[in-house]
Amino acid sequence: MRVFVTGGSGFVGRNLITNLVQQGIEVRALVKWESEIPILRDCGATPISGDINDLQALKSGMSGCAIVFHAAAKVDDWGVLEDFQKVNINGTEQTIAAARATGVRRLVYVSSDAVLIGGKPIINASETHPLPAKQLGYYALTKAIAEKKVVEANSNELTTMVVRPRFVWGKGDTTLMARFVKAMRNRSFAWISGGRYPISTCHVKNLCEGLICVAERGKGGEIYFITDGKPVEFRSFITELVRTQGVEPGRLSVPHWLVWKFAWSLETAWNLLNLKGSPPVTRTALSMIGSEVTVDDTKARRELGYTPVISRQQGLLEMTQP
């Protein structure tokens, strides 16, 4: 069997490609930058050069493929709306169009629990949890729009499904964990209200397992949460996570309400003054890691037979190994 992956050079994409290749599946993967071609080849994929909005490149890569895993995305808690739209919305539209044109049978979209972000804690949310009236941040907004397009694209010819992981982590992560480690080493990190609230997490290997389960057995037009299982206390988990990198998080804590007002003030200043870069803290980031975000993956377990392939402790141990 042959499959096509977008976002293959990213953290999730690399792990997914490796998993698929180990199962004897032929993988083609879209790559925008020439410097990333060796990364895909090392994972065992055939690189297909092109942009996520390059319909011809997408069609060329998808030719003869049975499944498309759409993992490409612009992920950030700050930025210009048009940049998010180009990748997350337009890129998804082009991916769907290419899949239809080439006769792909199944398309799995890698979304995010961020689509639920509206400024309030998210508690034990299932797939039927209503989206907020207004998403907080352009990433959440454009991912929610892309999700809707994927669900609406489902048909007898192309089965489309959405996967929402929560707090993806694991060995080789250069994004989320790197930000925690950098802040702690710079002594610019503080717990929000002590960090004593539960969160759901999803090890990248469990996400890959979930994506494959959805690709094989998912129902068209459906959304599935994938997690490591029961929630864990944020402070305890992050402490263990950064200790695998030889870092101690410290004990400084700041009230949630105070950081929220501070983040709002920073965002206002950045917008009014057209400042470069990103504010030190945003309400989007605060909503993702500064209060409870727990989701329920019962649907994936019941309908797809999804079971985590690695525990949190196994994942943490793996991160200490060379």
CA–CA gap between residue 296 and residue 93 (Å, rounded): 28
**Catalytic annotation present for 139:** yes
Decide the pairing of beta strands 46-49 and 26-31.
parallel
CB 9 within 8 A of CB 31: yes
Which residue among the candidates 109, 139, 224, 306 is catalytic per the annotation? Answer: 139
Residue 231 tokens read as: 């929630």
Q: Give the burial string for 5-29 (b: 16+ CB within 10 Å, else e).
A: bbbbbbbbbbbbbbbbeeeebebbb
Residue with token string 């060379």: 322
Taking CB atoms within 8 Å and a gap of at least 24, the contacts of 134-139 are 136/283, 136/284, 136/287, 137/77, 137/78, 137/282, 137/283, 137/284, 138/79, 138/80, 138/81, 138/84, 139/74, 139/75, 139/76, 139/77, 139/79, 139/84, 139/88, 139/112, 139/114, 139/284
CA–CA gap between residue 73 and residue 140 (Å, rounded): 11
Q: E strand or H helix at 70, and its extent?
A: strand 67-70
CA–CA gap between residue 25 and residue 28 (Å, rounded): 10
What are the start-end ranges of the E strands in 89-221?
106-110, 122-125, 159-165, 168-169, 191-192, 198-199, 202-203
How far out from the chain centre does Cα 145 lie?
15
Residues labelled catalytic: 139
